[in-house]
Structure 1
Amino acid sequence: MKRTGEVILGIIGMLVYTFFAIVGGFMVWMGNNRSLFQQLPEELSQQGVEISEAELNSIVETMGNSGTLFLITSLAAIILGIVSLVLLRGNKKPKASGIILIVTAVISSIIMTIVGFAGGLFYLIAGIMALVRKPKPAIQDGV
């Protein structure tokens, strides 16, 4: 039995998680480069927006922490997606693959809140398809 649908949905889910990993990496990079934000309070005060340095540091720190969470969760989801697709290839272990995809989708969606639901949806659908689809019975000759 071909599992083309599950494989395509898994690859799309991995691409979505790759995008989130890139965004998370960018957020971590921004959080580690505080020098980029040193002139920001002065520029904002010229535009009439007042922000203290403590508030700016809090924002940058939160961005770095969120980026780390996005990066780690996305990388784990990508790795588990690859493992799942390897198990699914050749219709070796579709049940194990489906369970891995569903668990990954649920956990990553919870950790990454609403944002992670985009990639988790593809994994969830692929996991359900892997569990539900049954191979066609073989037709016996001479019956």
Structure 2
Amino acid sequence: MKRTGEVILGIIGAAFYAFLAVIGGSAIWLKNNPDLVQEALDQSPEDLGISASELAATMGSGGVFLVVSSVIAIILGVVAMVLLRGNKKPKVAGIIFIATSVIFTVITFGGGIFAGILYLIAGIMCLVRKPKQLIEE
């Protein structure tokens, strides 16, 4: 049985997690450029009550968290897709997809919800789809 649908959903979900990693990388980049953050705060019409260095440090730590969690989610998705190759272990792949989707949606506080939904659908498809059995008469 071909598992093309599950693999495609896994690839798209991994692409969404890669997008989150890029956002995290951008936050890390802003941490290393506090002058740019200060300039943006100076142009803001409202006072946020936080200094540019504090904002940059907070964004940097959040960025590191996003990058690390996204890379782990991508790796787990690739592992699940490898397990699907040749229909070797679809149950294990489904469990990995579902666990990854739930855990990383929760720990990113909903930031990875779209990728999580795709991984969840792929995981459910892995667990539910059964190979067709030929009936011999």
Same fold (TM over 0.5): yes
Look up the match of 1:31.
31
Partners of 1:123 and 1:7 lie apart in 2 by 10
When the two structures are superposed, what TM-score results if normalisation uses the length of structure 2?
Answer: 0.90
Note the 1:1-143 alignment, pairs <5 A. Answer: 1-40=1-40, 42-44=42-44, 49-50=46-47, 55-140=51-136, 143=137
Q: CA deviation at 1:55?
A: 2.6
Contact 2:16 2:114 (C-alpha < 8 Å) held by counterparts: yes
Does the C-alpha gap of structure 1 residues 56 and 137 become closer, same or farther in structure 2, counting only changes over 3 Å? Answer: same
Q: How many residues align?
A: 137
C-alpha spacing 1:93/1:51, structure 2 compared with 1 (3 Å): closer
**Considering only CA atoms, is the larger Rg found in Structure 1 or Structure 2?**
1
Distance 1:97 1:36, change over 3 A: same
TM-score by length of 1: 0.87
Unpaired runs of at least 5, structure 2? none
Secondary structure at 2:2 match in 1: coil
Q: Report percent identity of matched pairs.
A: 50
CA gap 1:41/1:7 in 2 versus in 1, 3 angstroms = closer
The unaligned stretches of length 5 or more in structure 1 are none
